[in-house]
Structure 1
Amino acid sequence: MFRNLYQDLRHQLRYGGFWIWFLALSVFASIVFVIFQSLFQQILPDAAAFLFVSNQGSELFIKPWTLVTHAFFLPSLMSLLFQMIFLYWISYWVEDFIRRKKAIFIFIGGLFSGVITFLICALFFQENKALWYGSSSGIAALLLAATTISPEFRLKFVLIGHVPLKYFTMAMIVFAVIFSLPVYPPYTAAMVAGGLFGYLYMVFSWKGYTLRFDHLFRSQRMQGPRLVSPRKTSPSSNLSQEEQLNKILDKIKSGGLQSLNKEEQNFLEKLKKGD
Structure 2
Amino acid sequence: MKENVLTSFIRDTYKTTSIIPYVITGQVVLFILLHIFDLITFSEKTSVDLYTIFYTESILPVSFREFLSQPWSLLTHPFIYTSLWNLLFDCLWLYWMGQLFLNLLHTRQFNSLFIGGTFVGAILFLILGFIPLLSTQPLYWHTTAFGLAAIISSLVVLVPNYEIRLLLLGNIKLKWIAAVYLGFQFAFLISTNKAAALSYLCIVFGGMLFMHQLQRGKDWSNFFIKKKRKLKVIRNNYENQKLSEQGYPNQQEIDQILDKISLKGYESLTLKEKELLFRASKKEN
User: Above 0.5 in TM-score?
Assistant: yes
Match of 1:24 in 2: 25
Residue 8 of structure 1 and its aligned partner are, at CA, apart by 5.4
Match of 1:43 in 2: 49
Q: Which residue of 2 aligns with 1:158?
A: 167
Equivalence map 1:117-156=2 (5 Å):
117-124=124-131, 125-156=134-165
Range 173-182 or range 7-16, more displaced: 7-16
Q: Which residue of 2 aligns with 1:13?
A: 13
- Structure 2 residue aligned with 1:208: 217
Q: Alpha-carbon deviations, 1:30-63, whole Å to 9, x = none?
A: 2111221343376243432211111011233222
* Larger helix percent: 2
Provide the C-alpha distance between the structure 1 equivalents of 2:67 and 2:277, rounded to a whole number of angstroms: 41
Q: Measured at CA, do residues 19 and 123 of structure 1 come closer, stay the same or move farther in structure 2, by a change above 3 Å?
A: same
Aligned to 1:94: 101
1:145-173 CA distances to partner (integer Å, 9 max, x unpaired)?
A: 11110101111111111111111111112
- 5+ residue gaps, structure 2, are 43-47, 229-233, 241-248
Deviation at 1:251, TM superposition (A): 1.5
Mapped to 1, the partners of 2:35 and 2:199 lie a distance apart of 24
* Bigger mean CA offset, 205-214 vs 52-61: 205-214
Cα 1:16/1:34, change in 2 over 3 Å: farther
Deviation at 1:16, TM superposition (A): 4.6
Cα RMSD for the two superposed structures: 2.7
- Decide whether the 8 Å contact of 1:53 with 1:133 is kept in 2: yes
Q: Is the 8 A contact 1:152 1:164 kept in 2?
A: yes
Structure of greater Rg: 2
Secondary structure at the counterpart of residue 182 of structure 1:
helix
State the SS of the aligned residue for 2:191: coil
Query: 3-state SS of the aligned residue for 2:171?
Result: strand
Deviates most, 14-23 or 81-90: 14-23
Q: How many equivalent residue pairs? A: 256
User: TM-score scaled to structure 2, two decimals?
Assistant: 0.80
Is it true that 1:190 corresponds to 2:211 in the alignment? no
- Percent of aligned pairs sharing the same letter: 23
Moved more, 136-145 or 113-122: 113-122
Q: Distance in 1 between matches of 2:60 and 2:101?
A: 27
Please state how far the C-alpha of 1:185 moved relative to its aligned partner: 1.1
Matched residues in 2 for 1:185 and 1:36: separation? 30
TM-score computed with the length of structure 1 as normaliser: 0.83
